[in-house]
Amino acid sequence: MSVDLPPRRIWLCADDYGMSPGVNRAIRELISMKRINATSVMVVGAAVDRAEIDGLMQAVAANPNCTIGLHATLTAPFHPLTMHFKPLDGGQFLPLGRLLRASLLRRLDPEITQAELLAQMSAFRQMFGRVPDYIDGHQHVQLFPQIRDAFLAAVNDAAPGAWVRQCGRSLPLAQRLDSPKALLLDALSETFRRKSARLGIAFNPGFAGAYDMVRGREFSDAMQGFLDGLPDGGLVMCHPGFVDETLVSLDNVTHQREREFAFLSSDDFPRLLATNNITLDRA
């Protein structure tokens, strides 16, 4: 006799709210359609004025399954909130590759990094009147050596009760060898999970969503792969958006965001969730 299994509940998180008006508009539309249930806000982004924040709060108020997190940002072309942050490149954070290299060589100052992260958490509280539901990192900086200690200390201090994003996949090794980027995230996440657990900070049990966004691919095919083997409570990151001048000036991922939006807003997406017995409803 077959037994109907309960649906898997997952987080589908749209990163980068606050990067540009077009990104914000796409994310709000998907929240209103109940096609995503989380979004991470860049408080150092170019589109985080009062109107953009109020618009997000209104969209979430109409979708009680949706949560709002902080997208901690420490890479170019964005600027720090704290006056004495370093190292910088022309007043901006370092580019991703240089920041990762500096962290691996232990050339960062954890106290300066923690102060910047605390400033971003404080900015989130000022914008939304509360602490974030969860905290993750733009370009996965929360996983980097040195940064992860500062990140977890800041969460413990300023947002107790918030959970954090780890980016390790819950798949057998043989199924994880096709993506060097995802393998790196797997490795960095092992230490991040261990340190989070030691501090009693909760994290998502599984992760998916890493793929080559610049070259692009059919997002429907990618999404099916993301859902395979994802455990209950796992998280899939996505990056929907509409291309505008601000986005083009800040990021090299542009039209793929529109392709992600097109799939997530289509009738095919809820059918894919149903086929995989997955829900975006909160427990």
Structure tokens at 111: 């106290």
Whole-angstrom distance, CA of residue 69 vs CA of residue 2: 39
What is the pLDDT at residue 202? 98
Mean pLDDT by 10 residues, the chain (283 residues): 78 98 98 98 98 98 96 98 96 97 96 98 98 98 98 97 91 52 84 97 95 75 91 96 98 95 98 97 76
Is 162 within 8 Å of 132 (Cβ atoms)? yes
Burial label, 1 (beta-carbon count in 10 A; 0-12, 13-18, 19+): exposed
Whole-angstrom distance, CA of residue 228 vs CA of residue 65: 23
What is the pLDDT at residue 181? 66
Q: pTM, whole model, 2 decimals?
A: 0.94
Max CA distance (Å), the chain: 66
| Buried b / exposed e along 66-89 (16+ C-beta atoms within 10 A) | bbbbbbbbbbbebebbeeebeeee
What is the pLDDT at residue 177? 46
Neighbours of 61 (CB within 10 A): 10
The runs of H, that is alpha helices, within 1-68 are 21-32, 50-61
> Coil, helix or strand for 80?
coil
Expressed in angstroms, the distance from the first to the final Cα of the chain is: 27
What is the pLDDT at residue 170? 67
What is the pLDDT at residue 283? 59
Element (H, E) at 67: strand 67-72
Burial label, 253 (beta-carbon count in 10 A; 0-12, 13-18, 19+): middle
Domains and CATH numbers, the chain: 10-279 (3.20.20.370)
> Coil, helix or strand for 76?
coil
